[in-house]
Amino acid sequence: MRYLTFALGKGRLANTTLKLFEQIGITCEEMKDKDTRKLIFVNEEQKLRFFLAKGPDVPTYVEYGAADIGIVGRDTILQEGRNIYEVLDLGFGKCRMCVCGPQEAKELLRHHEQIRVATKYPRIARDYFYNKKHQTVEIIKLNGSIELAPIVGLADVIVDIVETGSTLRENGLEVLEEVCPLSARMVVNPVSMKMQQEKISRLITDLRTVISEKQ
Ligand code: PRP
């Protein structure tokens, strides 16, 4: 029997995912060892394999079929634009993708001016400004601490994740527009979806039941 392979985005997302999986009887004891340097974990009995990857790499592993299933944030799915199926909202890791900046920048958004937008998510920013707002903007790709950009004058606004809003508040910035809601999602390789349909469908049904009980 073939193994079903899962790619999990490293960090909090992976921990919450494993807790959710335990509720439907999927376990991986090997993975709980915090000191291990192992990269791939196997549950022989259930014929499951798990590995941890950097979030943005998860859709890549799934598109190429190196993983049948991936667990990753919707922000990463939208940014990577890979050929994968998004099959389930796991209901955790909830936050929002927003256009943020100083209050004064609101005017720039309203008047459709040519502005500079800093972001870690250029594809999402481009889609929002070009396809939804029809506003021509200059997009500057950064790799983190995006809130710095409007403070030091690199950009007028940012497109970034807002969870509690405290990073914005502590830096004198605010949400100017909401782009889309985000949360952790399950993605599936299109070929795996056909070849392992029974196993994957059962997994989705079981997870859906546990998730709906929580809500
Ligand atoms: C994310 C995001 C914001 C912050 C939002 O950054 O880019 O900066 O969290 O959270 P809050 O609304 O609860 O303050 P992350 O910590 O992932 O680091 P990064 O800035 O290096 O991307």
Token pair recorded at residue 162: 């807002």
Q: 3-class SS at 66?
A: coil
Unique residue bearing structure tokens 């807790």: 19
Q: Is 161 in the pocket of ligand 1 (CB under 6 A)?
A: yes
Ramachandran sector of residue 157 (left: φ over 0; alpha: ψ -120 to 50; beta: rest): beta
Cα–Cα distances in angstroms (integers) from residue 165 to residues 63, 133, 168, 193, in the given order: 33, 24, 5, 37
Beta bridge partners of 137: 115
CA of 147 to the centre of ligand 1 (A): 9
Tell me what pLDDT residue 58 has. 98
3-state helix vs strand vs coil in the chain, percent to 5:
40, 30, 35
- Does 34 score more than 90 pLDDT? no
Q: Is 131 in the pocket of ligand 1 (CB under 6 A)?
A: no
pTM for the full model?
0.94
Name every residue whose Cβ is closer than 8 Å to that of residue 83 and which is 6 or more positions away in sequence.
63, 190
Tell me what pLDDT residue 96 has. 98
Q: Is 165 in the pocket of ligand 1 (CB under 6 A)?
A: yes
pLDDT level of residue 193 (50, 70, 90 thresholds): very high
Tell me what pLDDT residue 181 has. 98
Tell me what pLDDT residue 29 has. 83
CA of 185 to the centre of ligand 1 (A): 19
Per the CB < 8 A criterion, the answer to whether 139 and 117 are in contact is yes
Tell me what pLDDT residue 215 has. 72
Where are the alpha helices (H) located in the chain, listed in sequence order?
Answer: 12-22, 58-63, 74-80, 105-110, 122-126, 148-152, 166-170, 190-195, 197-214
Tell me what pLDDT residue 141 has. 98
Tell me what pLDDT residue 188 has. 98
- Per residue in 120-177, pLDDT (tens digit) is 999 999 999 999 999 999 999 999 999 999 999 999 999 999 999 999 999 999 999 9
Beta bridge partners of 97: 161, 180
- Per residue in 44-57, pLDDT (tens digit) is 999 999 999 999 99
Which atom of ligand 1 is found nearest the CA of 161? Answer: 2
- Per residue in 55-99, pLDDT (tens digit) is 999 999 999 999 999 999 999 999 999 999 999 999 999 999 999
Tell me what pLDDT residue 148 has. 98
